[in-house]
Each structure stands twice: as C-alpha cells, then as structure tokens.
Chains A and B, each alone.
Chain A
Amino acid sequence: MGFLKRRTILITLILFFAAIQLFSLYQQDKNTNNPLSRLVLALTYYPQKFVSASTNKVVSVWYRYLDLVRLKEDNLRLQEEINELRQERFELSEAEAQNKRLKKLLDFKDRSSYPVVSANVIGASPSILRSQVVIVDKGAGSGVTRGMPVASYDGIVGRILVSADKSSEVLLITDPVSAVDAYVHRTRARGIVKGTGSGCIMQYIEKKSDISIGDKVISSGKDGFFPKGVIIGTVIDIEADGSFITATVSPHVDLNSLEEVVIILKNVDSVVLNE
C-alpha cells in the first residue's frame, strides 16, 4: 500500500492514459479522426521517427558490416585468384619464350654443318678477375672437348675452356683472352675480333678496307676454332689505329642473359686451318 501512496501521480497518469486509450477504442467506430487521436499521433510521431530512423541506421550499419566482412573474404579470394592467374600467365609467357629460343636453337642445329649439342648455362665465374666465363651443363660425357666453339641461335658465344665429365667452362668472346678471326659481311674486310671485358673490338682491319657503322661481322673460319659464317656482332664505332682500323663491335648475342647455348662438336685438333 505504501507503494501506491508514493506513486500516486504516476499511477494516476497511467490510468488516465489507459482511459484515453479505451475511450479512443470505443470511439474508433464512430469517429476515427478525432483531435485527441491526432494529438497522440502528432506527439508520438517524432519519437517514433527518431527511434525508427536510429534503429534502421543501426541495422543498416550492421548489414553493411556483414557485407564488408563478406566483401573482404571475396576480395581475398579474388586476390588469390588474380595472383594465381598472374603466376600462370607469367609461367606461360616464360614457357613461350623458352619455346621460341629452343625452336631457334633447333633451327641452328639443322643449319649447322657440324653435329651440335645443346646446353644450359648453370653458373658463371666467381671472380671479377675473369668474369667473362660461364659454366654449362654439358661436358666430356656428351662429347665436348677443349676448344670447341659455342654459339646460340643469335651468333657466336665463345669456346670451351675446360671440360669435365658433366659440365664445361665457356670462355666468352668478350673475354680479353678471346680472339676470333672474322670479316665484315658486306665487304669481306678481314680482322680479329677480341674481347675487351665488357664488349668486343675488331682489330687489324686494313686502312683501305670499306667498313661502316652497322656492318655485320661474321666468323671467317680461318682460326680453326669457329665455323665459317656465324654472326659475331655489329659494328658500332670505327677509329683509325696507326696503319689499321679498329672497330667496336657489339656482340649479337646478349651474353648477360645467356640461358641456352649450342656447343658445336667440331674437333679443333683435327681442323685443317684455312679451310
């Protein structure tokens, strides 16, 4: 009873509103548009609107959050798929490039008058003292011996320096020790192509010779090492050197990105010089 005494005003108000409600229900059939109803509706409009809008906002934020979680998962999955596809595309392009190189090597094999064996570059010199040396995966077991010429489908690479059973060292034409007897393809002007460490120069070209920038330089076959007519490079600079001309030759083969080569099984010892 104490509770009723203390909350008299509150209880009165509740009863009052309940009475109004009952009264409204009673009056519903008679007059649905009475001012009190409109007042109630008007009074409750804003709170309702507020609660509804807030609830909608919260719900929508929640749904968005759920969507985001799903999106994130989708995004991760798609990213993985993209990465896999990229990797596949890279592998395909690598395989295509390798296929092209191998086809060219096969063409070279077909064109060569000597038997050849193809090899992969597996290493290079560990020292700056002589960096123009690469190691290939074919050796004496495949018939490779010291001095044999090495080429790629693009031209001369070098010659075999040391041959073990399963691998060999190739001295590149850019090594200062390397020398190839050569001539200019267009005019047959003769000279010696020597390595400079980073490129090549063609020395001892007679001064009266006709040579110009852009001329192709090919092997003459007269040194007993390299077969005749294999391309070495292109003349990129010419300068007078005493009674001779010295031409800077840019090797036709990109020796820095060498991957596959062919070893021409030409036995150097049995070669008749000036063939």
Chain B
Amino acid sequence: MNKPLSIILFTLISLLFIVLQTTLLSPRKVGYVFPDLNLILIVFLGVYSETRGSLVLATGNGYLMDVLSGNLPGTFTISRLSAYLLVRTSSNHVYLKKWLVQGLVIFLATIFSWTFIISIFRIRQDTYFTLTLSEVMTQAVVNTIVGIPLFWVIAKLHAKLQK
C-alpha cells in the first residue's frame, strides 16, 4: 500500500468514484437507491491495504463527501474514518478476503456509517437531517450488490500494481 503507485491508483479511483457519485449516481438523479462508491472504496481500503496511506485516503474520501454534501464539516470524515478503522481492526481477527464475508462487511459498514451519523445528529438534537431505517437498509443492500464485483475489479488492479 505504501508503494507510490498504489497510492496514485487509489487517489485516482477516489476521484473517479466521487465524480460518478456527484453526477451520474447522485441521489438527486437516481433517488436513494444508489451505490455509495465512496464508502465501498473505504471498506476496500480497510480490507486490503496496509495502514498508513489508506488511513489518509479514507480520511480524504470522507472529507470529499463532507464538502460536496453541502459542507457538513466532519460528519462524513469522522464516520467514514471510524468505519475504516473498524474494518481494519476486524481484518486482524477475521479472514475478510472471501467475497461472501466482504459482502457482509460492506453491508455492516454501511449500517454502521449511517448509525454513526444519525447518532451524532440525535445527540446534537439536529432535526434537519432525518433518514429512515428503510433508506439505510436499501443503501446497505445496494452497496453490497455493487460492492462485491467492484471489490473484485479493484483487487485485480491492485494486485497488478503489486507485481
């Protein structure tokens, strides 16, 4: 992961995913049934990559979401960083490189990420942002379905660079 090529690859993928998510796959265009590519990439970093560089990338991805979601400072940065750390820690105890387990991890990471954000808003008694359970579950399912093949593709690219 500390190899410069890997960092460049993941930076480019991050940019590509965020551009896709703000244009073709924006919830304004496709409703709330859309894949959160940004979160999928963060989970991938947690599963496959070494710590230092991916930690920065996960934070950067969260920050991108913060800025582009109407400037919500820290909301996504912290929640996605937490999701990354959780996956990273889990990978030390559970073998996460099987596609079925990866699907489960994406599903749980999505639920964790939104639970984290909703909890912050509840604590702050901020009633502006509300999300229903069905919206969260739908996104978790969509992320899982899209995430598994995406993991395979990114893993292939990553492996090619590692050679």
Contacts and interface: CB of A to CB of B under 8 A. Distances in A.
B28 to A, nearest CB: 4
Given A133-B70, A169-B70, A169-B71, A127 B23 contact: no
Interface centre among A126, A129, A161, A256 (most CB of B within 10 A): A126
Contact of B69 (A130, A177, A256): A130
Contacts of A132: 28, 70
Contacts of A169: 68, 70-71
A124 interface: yes
B140 to A, nearest CB: 12
A181 interface: no
Interface stretch (B43-51, B84-92, B93-101, B128-136): B128-136
A129 B68 contact: no
Given A133-B69, A161-B71, A126 B129 contact: no
A161 B67 CA distance: 10
Contacts of B67: 162
Contact of A176 (B36, B129, B135): B129
A267 interface: no
A249 interface: no
Given A124-B28, A127-B68, A128-B135, 18 more contacts: A123-B22, A124-B23, A125-B68, A125-B70, A126-B18, A126-B25, A127-B36, A128-B27, A128-B32, A128-B34, A128-B131, A130-B72, A131-B32, A132-B28, A135-B68, A162-B71, A169-B71, A176-B129
A258 to B, nearest CB: 9
Interface string A128-143: 1111111100000000
Contacts, number: 79
Given A176-B129, A177-B128, A127 B28 contact: no
B72 A129 contact: yes
Interface residues of A, number: 23
Nearest to A169: B70
B54 interface: no
Interface in B14-36: 18-19, 21-23, 25-29, 32, 34, 36
A128 B68 contact: no
